[in-house]
Structure 1
């Protein structure tokens, strides 16, 4: 396989603020389609718990670099694009678990929708329970109903967006730079929520590439 594009470098959680939502031209769309569908098909057909866990744990290991090279620039109209978004959510949660848990708690506290119920984080929302949620969503994507997993992830993202915006408001007078970073993150989570919801719809109507 040609490697004419540089391999994305997966940085700690602040990388989320520029990676998430990116849809610039990247690796071949055809190869991204083939690899994502082949992986999903293999895991679903085998249903081997060892393989499932290996696929899930790609999010916390160096293997995510290989997925990034193939999938990171794919849009939410494709399987590769929505799976990449799920992997990136898990990587961000693992890279900065304390902040991720704080954003979730803030967002859940002010949410006026059923998103906290749909997301299903074990209470109290701790760094460990947030990480486990992201793992559970990934497992569900490969072994359960992909549409349900994507909707659950979308609800999670909407809560995180609320939490990031709320924390940004509280930091405005104290740390303008941090507040700006949180505002950007809130927008990125909101974009992901839209992308994942759209992916769920396409999965259900058979138009996901």
Structure 2
């Protein structure tokens, strides 16, 4: 007989203090708790009522305030992953043409022989900018019902392909790092959730 693996409960977020937290420890705790409202645990379990309240709060105070709180979190954490998804979404919205060109060039280079298997592993087809942005939007408003691991891997693959499509060394380095961060977050979530 197999015993069920114990999962920590999703932490409760003090939604009244979001955006007004000055204490670094309390800010970190609030950051992690709010991120857990959107991502849930490794099994996708979350408190739907609290998630709805969080989304309403985000509408009231502006999502930028919450995203800024997530920005200080380590890359392989729930708030760190959400910060990176948020930043990617902002980039897609602010430079759609540039990103589409990078993605197209990157796809051409990947299909012309550049191996990118470590990022594309487990991803059926590389998602384009619109698909990635749509999934990120769903995650950030608590409407995502798919597998967060797959969403993170698809975002990582997209960013990795964009890295292949640029000649600028600094941009390539940043994009590869972002791709690796998203991929590492996906692996961590699959292994038991992001802290």
Q: TM-score, normalised by structure 1?
A: 0.63
The ranges of structure 1 where at least 4 consecutive aligned residues each deviate by more than 6 angstroms after the TM superposition are none
1-structure distance, mates of 2:82, 2:180: 14
Structure 2 match to 1:201: 187
The aligned residue for residue 145 of structure 2 is 143
Aligned length: 156
Alignment match of 2:127 (pick from 94, 112, 120): 120
The residue that corresponds to 1:73 in the other structure is: 72
2 CA distance for matches of 1:186 and 1:160? 8
Structure 1 residue 63, shift from structure 2 partner:
2.5
Distance 1:26 1:183 in 2: 36
- Gaps of at least 5 residues in structure 1 are 6-24, 122-129, 169-181
* Equivalent pair of 2:149/2:189 in contact (CA under 8 Å): yes
Give 5+ residue unaligned stretches, structure 2: 1-16
Change (3 A) 1:204 1:135: same
In the alignment, the residues of structure 1 paired with residue 191 and residue 139 of structure 2 have an alpha-carbon distance, to the nearest angstrom, of 19
CA contact (8 A) 1:37 1:79 kept: yes
What is the CA–CA distance in structure 1 between the aligned matches of 2:175 and 2:31, rounded to whole Å? 23
RMSD across aligned C-alpha pairs, in angstroms?
A: 3.2
Distance apart, 1:78 and its partner CA = 0.9
Residues 138, 149 of structure 1: 8 Å contact kept: no
Map 1:1-209 onto structure 2 (within 5 A): 1=17, 2-4=20-22, 28-41=27-40, 46=48, 63-111=62-110, 112=114, 113=116, 115=120, 117-121=124-128, 130-139=129-138, 142-164=144-166, 168=167, 182-209=168-195
